[in-house]
Amino acid sequence: MLIKILGTGCAKCQRLEQLTREVAAEAGLAVSIEHVREMDKIMAYPVMSTPALVVDDVVKSSGRMPSREEIADWLGAD
């Protein structure tokens, strides 16, 4: 599973990456997490604001901080 955090590196973007890593680790999921900071690469996705969470090239969230439960659901970490 490929997870991308879209954001230039602000505190919320960093927190989303940390939270996503925690959820994946707690669930024992084998994931690859990439933090995309380059604006041209972020603009390749249909997002209007960051932070954004992309799972296997599907935008799951943008412009807000999702809950731990939402992230777990998107990752299939039931």
Secondary structure string (H, E, C) spanning the chain: CEEEEECCCCHHHHHHHHHHHHHHHHHCCCCEEEEECCHHHHCCCCCCCCCEEEECCEEEEECCCCCHHHHHHHHCCC
What structural domains and CATH numbers belong to the chain?
2-75 (3.40.30.10)
Considering the entire predicted model, what is its pTM?
0.92
Do 23 and 7 touch, CB atoms closer than 8 A? no
Is the pLDDT confidence value at 71 over 90?
Answer: yes
Choose between 6 and 9: higher pLDDT: 6
- CA dist., res. 32 & res. 41, Å (int): 17
Q: Are strands 32-36 and 52-55 parallel, antiparallel or unpaired?
A: unpaired
Question: pLDDT tens across 7-66, in order?
Answer: 998 999 999 999 999 999 999 999 999 999 999 999 999 999 999 999 999 999 999 999
